[in-house]
Structure 1
Amino acid sequence: MARAFLAAVRRLIPVRAAAAPADATGLDDPAKKELAMRLVASAENSSLDWEAQYAYIEDIGDGRGYTAGIIGFCSGTGDMLDLVELYAGRRPGNALAPYLPALRAVDGSDSHEGLDPGFPDAWRRATGDREFRRAQDHERDRVYFGPAVRRAKADGLRTLGQFAYYDALVMHGGGDDRASFGSIRARALGRARPPAEGGDEVAYLHAFLDARVWAMRQEEAHSDTSRVDTAQRVFLREGNLDLDPPLDWQVYGDGYRIG
């Protein structure tokens, strides 16, 4: 990383970001996790009410089939199948169980074969069951939230960096294609070192967000990068590395505030 670039980045950061307090909380603090869920909901569902999204389901035309639930589980990427299998184990004979053969068949594709027309209604009915909502929480934490926070902490990142990892893993998944979370992180590491390796946290996060924007632009359905440009990048430029309220941001031109 060029010294001139690092100096320019540091000039953008207010004094409060100069040093991390020893007791700084991470994203797994309950209050910070609630913030993370609301931030993701603003981008995924244009709402801060993330708990209303358990029942959400639609095909957004991104090649992943149905997208549903609090974290955008997809019928074409395997995480929806894992969720419904978990739910079936906890609640045999539930409304979604009859669709398990179809979910297995469409995994890896955008097909609705065997799911239409009844699957969306069955999903919405299932959300009336507390056990299904708990299953969604479990899979969110197992597949996305937990791995993202652990990886970010290992890289020496504070709360904002942990959220940046989480949001990227939610959208891009943990596969091995060039737009996956792992590939995004690898591109960032090619430009800057994370704090755990003696690097500058702000410079590293700018490199990570640059790589994230590049990955988003590889897919037409995700080419609007405002969830980075007018949200995460705003917090970074403000020096809010602990993601402390008040937070003001925009996604898709809509403004949000958590005070």
Structure 2
Amino acid sequence: MFTPHRKRLAVSTLLGAALLAVPVTAHATAAAPTAAPASAQVSAAAVGLDDPVKKDIAMQIVSSAENSSLNWKAQYKYIEDIDDGRGYTAGIIGFCSGTHDMLELVEYYTQIKPGNVLAKYLPALRKVDGSDSHAGLDPNFTKDWVKAASDSAFKKAQDHERDRVYFNPAVKQGKADGVGVLGQFTYYDAIVMHGDGDDSTSFRNIRKRALTKAKPPAQGGNETTWLNAFLDARVWAMKQEEAHSDTSRVDTAQRVWLKKGNLNLNTPLDWKVYGDPFHIG
């Protein structure tokens, strides 16, 4: 079952100049002792959301909210119009025909595999970009998307664009802010839904809103206090749009782990999204 609580506003810009200059290890704080054992320093630096095990956990959690399933690898073929004003939503991260990222995905797929089954839709995708129109896509685009999803090159293209546009920028900003795996995940989930455009509910502006209430560890703040401020700003952003107004992916998931002090997002994990329970052992 696919939920209607999906996707973000236009995503034309990646994180860049806004990133803080000095990265900090995953659990560093202003009060961290300077004489920590070398082994502890290596361990802290080595584990981030980009650790393969943690990344898979992140994908499962996002899929629980985006697709009501932990089986994120089954979502390469997913495509539907969920009537949120963004046209077709599809793939492992909810690429949308109306928010530019689907166009960039198909362009990249065509670069690595010219003549693929979706290449013929590029002119139409360029025309509908920024709207909810299906002009030039119907009636066969959805069928061809499913067909493309059986191609390993298309799966790799989806992975590539997920990482380039969403995952890597979120993790980079999280490490720069000095937050651990949970914090990096809260950033990732936010950028997946809201994108990083210039609108008031984009990821960068959620972060700016949080900065008016608290400071991240890299600026001398407490990690838990900072993440609570970020989640408060995230909830505000979600409530600005009816399609995102159910905030359970924050309230009964991320906030639960934060209250438990699970800053490293260690398993087992139990949470609910839209009332549905999930578990990762």
TM-score using structure 1 length: 0.92
> Where does residue 39 of structure 1 map in the other structure?
61
In 2, distance between residues paired with 1:124 and 1:80? 14
> Where does residue 200 of structure 1 map in the other structure?
222
In 2, distance between residues paired with 1:141 and 1:240? 24
What's the RMSD between the two structures over aligned residues? Answer: 1.3
> Where does residue 175 of structure 1 map in the other structure?
197
> Where does residue 53 of structure 1 map in the other structure?
75
Larger helix percent: 1
* 1:151-197 deviation per Cα after TM superposition (whole angstroms, max 9, x unaligned): 01000010000000000000000101011001100000110000000
SS in 2 for 1:43: helix
In 1, distance between residues paired with 2:275 and 2:80? 22
Q: Which amino acid in 2 is paired with 1:257?
A: H
> Where does residue 146 of structure 1 map in the other structure?
168
Q: Does structure 1 residue 112 correspond to structure 2 residue 123?
A: no
The match for 2:113 among 91, 101, 111 is: 91
Structure 2 gap segments, 5+ residues each: 1-30
> Where does residue 191 of structure 1 map in the other structure?
213
- Cα offset for 1:89? 1.2
- Cα offset for 1:93? 1.2
In 1, distance between residues paired with 2:190 and 2:104? 20
In 2, distance between residues paired with 1:180 and 1:60? 20
SS in 2 for 1:192: coil
> Where does residue 20 of structure 2 map in the other structure?
none
Aligned residue-pair number: 242
Q: Does structure 1 residue 223 correspond to structure 2 residue 245?
A: yes
> Where does residue 5 of structure 1 map in the other structure?
none
Structure 1 gap segments, 5+ residues each: 1-17
The alignment-based identity, stated in percent, is: 70
> Where does residue 126 of structure 1 map in the other structure?
148
> Where does residue 11 of structure 2 map in the other structure?
none
Q: Does structure 1 residue 240 correspond to structure 2 residue 235?
A: no
In 2, distance between residues paired with 1:67 and 1:179? 19
In 2, distance between residues paired with 1:89 and 1:156? 36
- Cα offset for 1:91? 1.2
In 2, distance between residues paired with 1:111 and 1:155? 39
- Cα offset for 1:90? 1.2
Contact preservation (8 Å) 1:68, 1:74: yes
> Where does residue 89 of structure 2 map in the other structure?
67
In 1, distance between residues paired with 2:138 and 2:217? 48
- Cα offset for 1:98? 0.8
- Cα offset for 1:88? 0.8
In 2, distance between residues paired with 1:174 and 1:140? 13
In 1, distance between residues paired with 2:86 and 2:184? 25
> Where does residue 186 of structure 2 map in the other structure?
164
Q: Which amino acid in 2 is paired with 1:239?
A: G
Q: Flag the structure with more relative contact order, 1 or 2, with Cα contacts below 8 A and sequence separation at least 6.
A: 2
Q: Which amino acid in 1 is paired with 2:124?
A: A
In 2, distance between residues paired with 1:63 and 1:151? 29
Runs of 4+ in 1 over 3 A off after TM superposition: 18-22
